[in-house]
Amino acid sequence: METIVRFGPDSRLIGILSGAGLPADAPILVLPNAGLVPRAGPFRLHVQLARRLAASGLRTFRFDLPGVGESPRDPGLDYREATLAALEHLGANLRGARFAVGGICSAADLGWIAALSDERVVGVMMLDGMCYAGPWFRLACAMAALRRGPRHWVGLAARRLLKRKQACESNRPMDLRNWPPLEEARAQMTTLLARGVRFLCIYSGGIGDYFLDARQFGWTFGAAARNPSVKLHYWPDCDHTYFARAHRERLLETVITWLLGDVFPAAPARSEHSRSTVTVPLQHERVA
C-alpha cells in the first residue's frame, strides 16, 4: 500500500511513500526525479523498485521536484532544498529512519548533495552520476575515432574547423550539472566514506559524452574509489534510462542487493515486520 505525502512550504510538494505497514524506523530509499521524468521513474522504474523493496522491508519515497511532474515551479525551494525538505518531513514523521538517496542523472547528483547535507543519509545511489573525463576518457575517444576510420577523421577535422568543439564542450555534464571541482569531489567522497556512507555507482553506455571507461572512476575519486563501501558497475550495453526490460531487471536486482546487503543489512524482512506491524501516520492521504 502506498501513501500520498505532501511536504515542503504550504505542503505544495507531493510524493508517494511505499511500505505503509512497515515499522516506523524502516529505512527509506528517496528517489527524486530523473531529469524531467515524472516521479514514477523512467518506464516506471521507481514504482517497480518501490514494490520490490516494500516486500523486503524497505520503504521508498518518490517525489516530484519543483517544476517537474505535478509540482509547482516556485514552491520557494530549489532542487537541493526540496530534497532536504523531503528528508526532513520523512524524518519528522518516521522517527529513526535512515535514508539512501539517489537515482538516474540529476537524481544521482541530489543523492550526493543530500548525503553531504544530512547525516541520516547512509547510502548514495549514483546511476550515471558524477565522474570526470580525464585521460582514460580521452584515450577511449581517440580509440573510438581510430576505429571509425578516415571518413570520420575528415568529418571531425571539418567540425573543428567550424569551431563546433567549443560548443560541445560547453554542454558537458560537468558544466551543466553543477558538479564540484575535481579536488573537492574527491575530498567530499573521502569525507562521506569516513562517515560510513555506502555508494552504488553504475555507469551506463548512454553517457558517452563523459564516461567511456570504468578506469575514469578511479581517476576521478582516487583511493576512495577502491574503498569496499563503493560498488562500481559499468554497463555499456545499457542506455541511460533502461529502456529494455532485461536491463531494468538487472538494475533492480543490483539496487536491491546493494540496499539489503550493504546499506541496510539489518532491515526487517517482510515476514518479520508483518508479525509486529506498527501503524505509521499516513498524513495527507485521501481515499475516495
Binding site for another protein (CB under 8 A): 1-2, 4, 6, 14, 16, 34-40, 42-44, 47, 67-70, 72-74, 104-105, 176, 205-206, 208, 236-241, 243-247, 284-288
Residue 95 or 286 with smaller CB distance to another protein? 286
258: amino acid identity, one letter: W
Residue 249 or 272 with smaller CB distance to another protein? 249
What minimum distance in Å lies between the beta carbon of 203 and another protein? 12
Residue 72 or 134 with smaller CB distance to another protein? 72
Residue 159 or 284 with smaller CB distance to another protein? 284
What minimum distance in Å lies between the beta carbon of 39 and another protein? 7
Residue 74 or 183 with smaller CB distance to another protein? 74
Residue 189 or 251 with smaller CB distance to another protein? 251
What minimum distance in Å lies between the beta carbon of 261 and another protein? 26
| φ and ψ of 94, to 5 deg | -125, 75
What minimum distance in Å lies between the beta carbon of 218 and another protein? 20
Residue 43 or 219 with smaller CB distance to another protein? 43
What minimum distance in Å lies between the beta carbon of 178 and another protein? 11
Cβ(198)–Cβ(123) below 8 Å: yes
99: amino acid identity, one letter: F
What minimum distance in Å lies between the beta carbon of 151 and another protein? 16
Q: Specify the DSSP element, H or E, that contains 168.
A: helix 164-170
Gap between the terminal Cα atoms of the chain: 15
What minimum distance in Å lies between the beta carbon of 124 and another protein? 20
In Å, how far are 33, 112, 120, 223, 255 from 195, measured between CA atoms? 26, 13, 10, 16, 21
SS3 86: helix
Written as nine digits, the cell of 262 is: 550493504
How many other CB atoms sit within 10 Å of the CB of residue 194? 11
Q: Which distant-in-sequence residues (6+ apart) come within 8 Å of 49 by Cβ? A: 29, 31, 41, 60, 252, 255, 256
Residue of 85, 143, 84 whose CA lies nearest to 118: 84
- Residue position matching grid coordinates 526540496: 82
